[in-house]
Chain A
Amino acid sequence: MTTVAEVGYYEAWWIQLLKALVIFIAVFQLVPVVLLAERKVLGRFQHRYGPNRTGPYGALQPLADIGKLLFKQQFRPRGAVGWMFALAPAISMFTAVATMALIPFSDTVNIFGTEVGLYGIDPSIGILYAFAFGGLAFYGLVLGGWSSGSKYSFLGSMRAAAQLISYEIAQGLALVGVVMMAGTLSLTELVAAQSGPGNVWFIIPQFVGFIIFLVAGFAETNRPPFDLPEADAELVQGYSTEYGGGRFAAYYAAEYLNIIVVSAFVATLFLGGWNLPFVAPPEWTHPLIVLGKTIAILFLFLWVRATLPRLRYDQLMSLGWKVFLPLATVNALVTAILVVVL
């Protein structure tokens, strides 16, 4: 049997189960926070307060939203392909959660005498794993839009597919520079390559890669200015037009989960993970540092949403193919030469 990937550190099965639960619960708690933060931050950008009536400072607003969605009818159009229609939101949710497992919050730490790695899993093919699930995530959108049996949904899923091929190659190539500099695909080793004296965060030597990865991240999570698959002004919410109730909630949660995951990836790959400049933070602050950096990138997501209008369909494709792909290639080439020469 061939080994697809090796895992950096093995724990007992019950530790793996436990930490999987803990990470899932901890990161999933961020979803309502981001949901609320988005509405409040967008409000501030538009001279408004955002929701502030439900609970203290509007803190119960996501709960009210989710409660409303869960009590709605599970509607299915007559032309829909039943099982696929039900499966698609589950795919979106599954891939988002699966990618979440990769985010390293710290290296192996000693908790009550047990060595535990503060990540779901640390395979030697970390980044490839993330890209595999990022590619699968679009099946959720494409199948959902296609199986709805509605023109708007179909157009949305077509756009999702076109969007996927136009950004994903550039996104992958943007990370090649980082991978070459660190010489590894494992995320904990990538963070380790950014720590210690003489090493800097990859945002400095790989700034072009950072920009490309970030912009591609906006496209991957269907965020404005690349929210073409759901373009609510022209496509009536695109792939999720026919969805309602719990299934729509699943799509919604998966979208926000994807944003969190992409932000955490940017924090890990380019902002040094749990490292801080000039000081070596104590071990127990590592998850908080990762979380802080993730939240900073999340804010950038909301900030960009408040700023940029949606790109046209062909503009996104020409941006992906004509600007980012050559740029990422040149970036990888230059990095390769420098890595060999220096």
Chain B
Amino acid sequence: MAYDPGADVIEVVRAPKAGPARASYRAFGETLRGLKTTMARWAEGTHTFQYPEEKTPVYPRFRGRHKLHRFEDTGLEKCVGCSLCAAACPADCIRVVAAENTEETRVSAGERYAAVYEINLSRCIFCGYCEAACPFDAITMGHDYELSDYNRSDLIFTKEMLLAEPLERTPLRRAGE
């Protein structure tokens, strides 16, 4: 007895078989169907972002340019110069030189602070491992993706640049967008 697929049968649309009538249908009927399909694509309109004027919105967890953070109440830097981010970085693009906080100059909340904190964004692969490695949430990935520059040296971001409040250049994707 032949196999009965029952109610689960999926209707298969097969190509027309060879033969004069079928062939002419294939030549003209299917061509007309194709023309209809392409015209329907036109009717759907464009999906293009007019980039420099209209920016692609990013998701909240998008990994763009890094940001360094301060404590909001005290204004002290969160980074304690532990270099875990530099150790975690697969591209080896983070350079941290730590220094001791003293009584007179207190930069961070911990014992030490990052005297030099540089990220070479021309090497960075935006994997987010630095963010994951940081025990104090001092470094996070931001949303900025417009990072081109004319000089490679301009892409080495220093601590001041990473701490500064970044320009909100890229829109965040709204829910459901």
Contact = CB atoms under 8 A, between A and B. Distances in A.
Contacts of A307: 31, 34-35, 37-38
B177 interface: no
Contacts of A211: 28
A47 B44 contact: yes
Contacts, number: 35
B174 interface: no
Interface string A305-318: 01110000000000
Contact of A45 (B41, B47, B50): B41
A49 B46 contact: yes
B46 A47 contact: yes
Nearest to B36: A307
B21 interface: no
Nearest to A41: B42
A211 B24 CA distance: 13
Interface residues of B, number: 17
Interface string A197-239: 0000000000000010000000000000000000000000000
What secondary structure prevails in chain A residues at the interface with B? helix
B74 interface: no
Contacts of A303: 35, 38-39
Interface in B43-64: 44-48, 50
B32 to A, nearest CB: 10
B1 interface: no
Contacts of A21: none
B10 interface: no
Contacts of A45: 38-39, 41-42
B131 to A, nearest CB: 35
Contacts of B28: 211
Nearest to B45: A47
Contacts of B31: 307-308
A46 interface: yes
Interface in A281-330: 303-304, 306-308, 323
Given A303-B39, A323-B27, A48 B48 contact: yes
18 contacts: A44-B42, A44-B46, A45-B38, A47-B41, A47-B44, A47-B45, A47-B48, A48-B46, A211-B28, A303-B35, A303-B38, A303-B39, A307-B31, A307-B37, A307-B38, A308-B31, A308-B34, A323-B27
Given A44-B46, A48-B47, A307-B37, 11 more contacts: A43-B46, A44-B42, A45-B38, A45-B41, A48-B48, A49-B48, A211-B28, A307-B31, A307-B34, A307-B35, A308-B31
